[in-house]
Amino acid sequence: MLILFNKPFNVLSQFTDKGNEGSDRQTLSDYIDVPNVYAAGRLDRDSEGLLLLTDDGRLQNRIASPKAKMPKTYWVQVEGIPDEAALAALRDGVALNDGQTRPAKVRRIDEPAGLWPRTPPVRFRKSVPDCWIELTITEGRNRQVRRMTAAVGHPTLRLIRYRIGEWSIDGLASGKWRPA
């Protein structure tokens, strides 16, 4: 079984919030009531979008393992307007404190059509422009996309994982799931 879930902002990518008794943080169990499925990889609490869940250990490993190099595509709202030099740096790989990233595919895009509002909304500042980029990576380091955009001078304001391999959030509203 494989489930595609469009994870909302501020939801943990796990079914329980262990060690935080009395916490009101939302988890996957607030949205998905399917036994014996587990997230294949993670998506930070402050990120949104596609999370795959499965009961198949081999498939989970194929999706999440860095050795598999499964491409992951993100829609990223960044502060400022990246110039060609910033985009080229992302394409070539960025030096982070834990080493050089693999080359990425990147392009500027319009705000994605049908994008749901984020709660709470991203803070708008009249004096600082922002734009959207589409970024595809084949690794999954901790907070990698956020660190990459910051390294080229364009901090991430909103991060949505759009696609993992062949699966995407097309037609899947925020907070909803469906079998693949």
Say if residue 62 is in the same domain as residue 123: no
Number of neighbours of residue 63 by Cβ within 10 angstroms: 22
134 close to 168: Cβ distance less than 8 angstroms: no
Write the CB contacts of 111 (distance below 8 Å, at least 6 apart in sequence).
Answer: 77, 132
Residue 24's domain comprises 1-68+167-180
pLDDT digits (tens, 9 = 90+) for 28-87: 999 999 999 999 988 999 999 999 999 999 999 999 887 888 999 999 999 999 999 999
Q: How far apart are CA 91 and CA 135, in angstroms?
A: 9
Say if residue 75 is in the same domain as residue 160: yes
Say if residue 9 is in the same domain as residue 77: no
- Angle, CA 28 vertex, CA 26 and CA 29 arms, to 5°: 90
pLDDT digits (tens, 9 = 90+) for 139-168: 988 899 999 999 999 999 999 999 999 999
CA terminus-to-terminus distance, the chain: 8
Tokens for 122, please give them. Answer: 């991203």
Q: How far apart are CA 75 and CA 174, in angstroms?
A: 14
pTM: 0.94
pLDDT digits (tens, 9 = 90+) for 93-138: 999 999 999 999 999 999 999 999 998 888 888 888 999 999 999 9
| Residues listed for the chain | 180
Q: How far apart are CA 160 and CA 115, in angstroms?
A: 10
170 close to 113: Cβ distance less than 8 angstroms: no
Check which CATH number belongs to the domain holding 50 and give it.
3.30.70.580
Q: How far apart are CA 46 and CA 171, in angstroms?
A: 22
Say if residue 60 is in the same domain as residue 79: no
Say if residue 80 is in the same domain as residue 19: no
pLDDT exceeds 80 at position 22: no
Active centre residues (catalytic): 44
Say if residue 106 is in the same domain as residue 127: yes
Identity at 137, one-letter amino acid code: I
Q: How do beta strands 48-54 and 156-164 pair? A: parallel
Say if residue 60 is in the same domain as residue 80: no
Say if residue 142 is in the same domain as residue 174: no
Say if residue 97 is in the same domain as residue 62: no
**Hey, is 99 helix, strand or coil?**
strand
Considering its fold, how many domains does the chain have in total? 2
Say if residue 15 is in the same domain as residue 37: yes
Check which CATH number belongs to the domain holding 110 and give it.
3.30.70.1560
Q: How confident is the model at residue 19 (pLDDT cuts 50, 70, 90)?
A: low
Q: Report whether the peptide linkage leading into residue 71 is cis, meaning its omega lies within 30 degrees of zero.
A: no
Say if residue 155 is in the same domain as residue 79: yes
Say if residue 78 is in the same domain as residue 160: yes
